[in-house]
């Protein structure tokens, strides 16, 4: 059984997609053991509690220096002994020591087709604003492993979403979530739980069996 820890900063819609997928069997051989948020008002914490999942808030604002927060975060993560860490809208830079402690065991969901509209400064609505400003006809979402860069780790899964002529950043964000993120993230966790994913020479490989 794969122990999954989810880190999230906001409403937790991707967390809910994972919870639902575990319940209905789309994610097999895995359980969500804890949710960590940097935001006390994050609805994701309430979603966790409603589903009997440990919910913890750990904010950089509660620490005098970032290094102290980084140590506390790693200690908190270690206490749950996760097999997989899922970043589901976690607006905190993951400390390098945590990435080194969990190599190829941290995945992130990003609301674009990487390498488009990713990297420093591209998060939340900013991603969709940039896509619309550029005039792209297709966008989507990407699940990737986390390395010490920003959105630079090996890509595991991607799914495209059509951009409509009358889209706003908000409407596009919603459709990318519904048509891509909520599908890709549970699929990625299920593949990892089934032992079908490995990283070889910096690339994520899915074994077809």
Kindly name the residue from 110, 128, 144, 164 that is annotated as catalytic.
110
110 included as an active-site residue: yes
Exposure b/e, 120-145, CB count within 10 A at least 16 = b: eebbeeebbbbbbeeeeeebbbbbbb
User: Using CA atoms, how far apart are residues 162 and 140, in angstroms rounded to an integer?
Assistant: 8
Coil, strand or helix at 4: strand
Which ranges constitute the DSSP H helices of the chain? 13-23, 43-50, 66-79, 96-101, 125-134, 169-176, 182-193
**Rounded to 5 degrees, what angle do the CA atoms 177, 91, 153 make?**
75
Give the residue numbers annotated as catalytic, written as ranges. Answer: 110
């Amino acid at each position: 059984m794969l122990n999954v820890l989810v880190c999230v900063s906001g409403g937790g819609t991707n967390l809910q997609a994972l919870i639902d997928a575990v319940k209905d069997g789309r994610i097999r051989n895995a359980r969500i053991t804890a949710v960590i948020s940097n935001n006390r008002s994050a609805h994701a914490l309430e979603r966790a509690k409603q589903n009997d999942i440990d919910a913890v808030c750990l904010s950089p604002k509660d620490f005098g220096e970032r290094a102290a927060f980084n140590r506390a975060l790693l200690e908190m993560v270690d206490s749950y002994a996760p097999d997989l860490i899922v970043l589901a809208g976690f607006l905190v830079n993951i400390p390098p020591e945590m990435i080194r402690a969990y190599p190829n065991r941290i995945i992130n969901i990003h609301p674009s087709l990487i390498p488009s509209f990713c990297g420093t400064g591209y998060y939340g609505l900013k991603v969709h604003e940039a896509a619309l400003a550029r005039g792209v006809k297709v966008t989507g979402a990407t699940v990737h492993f986390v390395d010490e860069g920003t959105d630079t780790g090996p890509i595991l899964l991607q799914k495209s979403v059509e951009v409509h002529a009358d889209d706003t950043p908000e409407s596009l964000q919603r459709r990318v979530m519904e048509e891509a993120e909520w599908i890709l993230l549970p699929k990625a966790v299920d593949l990892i739980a089934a032992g079908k994913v490995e990283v070889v020479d910096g690339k994520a490989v899915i074994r077809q069996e």
